[in-house]
Amino acid sequence: MKRYHYNFLGSTNDYAKELLRKEQVVIVTADSQSNGRGRKERIWEGEVGSNIYLSYGINHIKVPKYQTLILFQAVGCLAVIDTLEYLTKSTIFKLKYPNDVHAFDGNYFRKISGILIEHSFSGNTCKSTIIGIGVNVNQSKFSNEIAEIATSLKILGFQIELSKFYDVLIEKLDYYLDLDNSKIFELWKNRLNIVDKMVKISDSNDEWRVMDFMNDGRIKLVNENNVERIIDDGDTIRYKLD
pLDDT at 40: 46
Local structure of 237: helix, strand or coil: strand
Cβ(200)–Cβ(238) below 8 Å? yes
How confident is the prediction along the chain (242 residues), in pLDDT tens digits per residue?
899 999 999 999 999 999 999 999 999 999 998 876 554 455 556 788 999 999 999 999 877 877 789 999 999 999 999 999 999 999 999 999 999 999 999 999 999 999 999 999 999 899 999 999 999 999 999 988 898 999 999 999 999 999 999 999 999 999 999 999 999 999 999 999 999 999 999 877 889 999 999 988 999 999 999 999 999 988 889 999 98
Q: Which residues contact 116 (CB under 8 A, 6 or more apart)?
A: 13, 37, 38, 39, 99, 132, 133, 134
CATH class of 2-192: alpha beta
